[in-house]
């Protein structure tokens, strides 16, 4: 998209006016010399008008009566100049709208680039952990489909990549949106819903309508926007305040709405969503909205569920419901040592610009969210002000809104007469203040069903030098209910590498520990020497004898779930293991190992 270009029409309209006047002056009987003389005159005047108005003052000679023609020409040229200027203002207004739209488009484009750079930076952070020049990390975070080779896996067996959430799961066999038919039962907090008191400067012919409330066009105060499934509708919750100097200047009249310190304060809101009836749920997605100029973050303090609206429990542990997770405008990045730490805490699932929680399925009718905003940002805030004066006076005195007759309170901005003695001026005054804001586009409460087995196969990763060793790091989550048999706890997510697309070799991520005597190797070596082979058992290493060092590698992930629990025979079709990230650490032969 190219940047809009403002095209001024001033010179064009001046030229049209001069030609029009020339046609009036020229009659059909004009001689050739008259036409030539007039053409020279018009050309000279047009050149002299560049950067100036058409108006040329025709002054009255002192002591003489003005000529009617001069008076008429003066007015006509002034009228034309004003018309050209107003037309130019419309052109500028159109340009500003186009440029604003362009800047928003550019902002989204740059934000997309920032997200890409964010992933690159994460990769570079991993590289800095290793000083060996022939070590390469290949990292996948499942935020796109760039590295999956779908052609090698039938659709019915293919694992599902959730690019918005940045996770890999079992193939989804059924999806039920439990938000449909739900309602927002309660919204409680220390702020107010909407965009109230936010103001913007507007163009107006009136001296009293230079500002207007944003809420006159965009309220964002309807709780239905939270669960309507429409990302174009937004719900906002805010706490706003203005400087003490303005409050003092206005005698603290009508500023009860202004609350919160600029720094070190906290906006908190509790939202309770009520489903039509008790439903099975196992997945919650919260899509935030960040107002222009805001910090671009929101903190999810807690999420709890309840069957009766009285007793609530946490998503992952009944009594431990505090999450304290921050959702950023851009995907979160992690240090390498934090990324592959072996944690299987579902409460700490990563986010890619929105909040996603996959948890053990349960029956619930009420879902409670507690959101926080500890950061404020600068905003232009408006305050309706009322002034009174006697009709024979030139000065106004500020009065409270409650002193104003109700019929004038609802009138438009301007000066209004009360009676024969007094009149009241109503204006919207704007001042820079600060705002704490929490915005939400959508809350999706889902019930997903998953296949029992699925697989993921990556595209081949190519190298110029032969591959000597392969190690795997993975950030995975396996539901605790799968681990009734400890000896099978490493089998619900299995990893394999292949160098020729034919033979697949199982490999264990670095964080896994043996749970039986068939523990797969953590290090795969190619054509290693005897001394390394002797120590392979202690290092969980396997040596592969190939004809030559391979120059490509693929990763395959096989994910499984139990059909039901062993003891209670509870169906587990609503559960899935997750893979959030993986990285292959490759040592090549370039400088030897």
Domains by residue range for the chain, with CATH: 10-99 (no CATH), 129-161+451-588 (2.60.120), 172-378+435-446 (2.60.120.260)
Which residues on neighbouring strands pair with residue 549, listed in sequence order? none
Query: What gap in Å lies between CA 323 and CA 316, rounded to an integer?
Result: 10
Query: What gap in Å lies between CA 434 and CA 262, rounded to an integer?
Result: 6
Residue-level pLDDT at 123: 43
Residue-level pLDDT at 564: 83
CA angle 317, 318, 320 (to 5 degrees): 60
Strand 578-588 relative to strand 467-477, pairing: antiparallel
Helix axes 10-25, 32-49, angle to 10 degrees: 160
Residue-level pLDDT at 308: 93
Q: What is the pLDDT along the chain (593 residues), one digit of tens a residue?
A: 567 766 777 767 766 766 676 666 666 556 666 666 666 676 666 666 666 777 777 787 777 777 777 777 788 878 888 887 888 888 888 888 888 878 888 887 787 677 656 545 544 544 455 556 778 888 898 888 999 999 999 999 999 998 877 889 999 999 999 999 999 999 999 999 999 999 998 876 666 668 889 999 999 999 999 999 888 899 999 999 999 999 999 999 999 999 999 999 999 999 999 999 999 998 998 989 999 899 989 999 999 999 999 999 988 777 777 888 888 765 444 434 445 555 555 555 555 567 888 887 889 999 999 999 999 999 999 999 999 999 888 889 999 999 999 889 888 888 898 888 899 999 999 999 999 999 999 999 999 999 999 999 999 999 988 998 899 999 888 887 887 777 777 889 999 999 999 999 999 998 887 777 788 888 888 887 644 444 444 567 888 999 999 999 999 999 999 988 777 777 888 889 989 889 999 888 865 44
CA angle 355, 357, 361 (to 5 degrees): 155
Q: How far apart are the first and last CA of the chain?
A: 50
pTM attached to this predicted model: 0.66
The answer to whether residues 478 and 585 touch, using CB atoms and an 8 Å cutoff, is: no
Q: Which residues of 226-245 are buried (b: 16+ CB within 10 A; e: fewer)?
A: bbbeeeebbbbbbbbbbeee
Residue-level pLDDT at 81: 80
């Amino acid at each position: 998209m190219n940047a809009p270009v403002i095209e001024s029409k001033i010179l064009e309209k001046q030229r049209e006016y001069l030609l029009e006047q020339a046609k009036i002056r020229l009659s059909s009987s004009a001689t050739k010399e008259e036409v030539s003389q007039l053409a020279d005159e018009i050309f000279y005047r047009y050149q002299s008008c560049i950067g100036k108005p058409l108006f040329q003052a025709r002054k009255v000679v002192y002591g003489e009566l003005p000529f009617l023609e001069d008076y008429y020409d003066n007015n006509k040229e002034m009228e034309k100049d004003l018309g050209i200027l107003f037309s130019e203002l419309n052109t500028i207004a159109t340009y500003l709208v186009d440029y604003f739209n362009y800047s928003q488009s550019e902002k989204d484009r740059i934000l997309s680039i920032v997200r890409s750079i964010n992933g690159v930076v994460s990769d570079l952070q991993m590289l800095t952990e290793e000083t060996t020049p022939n070590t390469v990390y290949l990292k996948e975070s499942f935020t796109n489909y760039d590295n999956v080779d779908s052609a090698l896996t039938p659709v019915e067996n293919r694992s599902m990549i959730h690019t918005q959430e940045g996770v890999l799961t079992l193939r989804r066999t059924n999806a039920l949106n439990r938000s449909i038919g739900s309602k927002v039962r309660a919204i409680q907090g220390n702020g107010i819903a909407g965009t109230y008191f936010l103001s913007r400067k507007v163009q107006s012919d009136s001296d009293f309508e230079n500002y207007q409330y944003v809420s006159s066009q965009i309220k964002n105060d309807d709780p239905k926007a939270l669960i309507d499934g429409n990302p174009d509708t937004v719900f906002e919750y805010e706490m706003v305040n203005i400087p003490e100097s303005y409050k003092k200047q206005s005698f603290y009249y009508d500023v009860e709405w202004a609350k919160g310190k600029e720094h070190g304060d906290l906006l908190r809101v509790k939202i309770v969503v009520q489903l039509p009836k008790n439903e099975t749920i196992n997945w919650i997605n919260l899509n935030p909205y960040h107002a222009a100029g805001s910090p671009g973050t929101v903190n999810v303090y807690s999420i709890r569920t309840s069957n009766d609206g009285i007793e609530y429990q946490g998503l992952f542990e009944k009594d431990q419901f505090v999450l304290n997770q921050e959702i950023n405008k851009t995907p979160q990045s992690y240090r390498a040592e934090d990324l592959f730490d072996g944690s299987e805490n579902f409460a700490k699932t990563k986010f890619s610009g929105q909040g996603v929680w996959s948890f053990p399925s349960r029956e619930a009718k009420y879902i409670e969210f507690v959101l926080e905003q500890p950061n404020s940002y600068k905003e232009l805030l408006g305050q309706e002000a009322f002034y009174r004066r006697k009709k024979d006076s030139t000065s106004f005195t500020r009065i409270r809104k409650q002193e104003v007759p109700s019929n004038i309170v609802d009138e438009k901005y301007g000066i209004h007469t009360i009676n024969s003695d007094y009149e009241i001026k109503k204006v919207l005054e704007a001042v820079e203040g600060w705002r704490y804001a929490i915005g939400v586009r959508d809350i999706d409460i889902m019930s997903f069903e998953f296949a029992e087995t699925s697989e993921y196969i990556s595209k081949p990763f190519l190298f110029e030098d032969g591959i000597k060793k392969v190690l795997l790091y993975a950030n995975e989550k396996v539901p605790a209910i799968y681990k009734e048999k400890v000896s099978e706890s490493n089998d619900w997510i299995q990893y394999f590498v292949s160098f020729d697309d034919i033979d697949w070799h199982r490999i264990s991520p670095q964080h896994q520990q043996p749970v039986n005597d068939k523990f797969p190797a953590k290090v795969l070596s190619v054509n290693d020497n005897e001394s390394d082979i002797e120590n392979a058992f202690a290092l969980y290493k396997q040596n592969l004898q190939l004809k030559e060092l391979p120059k490509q590698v693929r990763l395959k992930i096989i994910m499984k779930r139990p059909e039901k629990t062993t003891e209670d025979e509870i169906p587990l079709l609503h559960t899935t293991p997750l893979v959030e990230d993986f990285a292959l650490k490759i040592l090549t032969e370039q400088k030897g190992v």
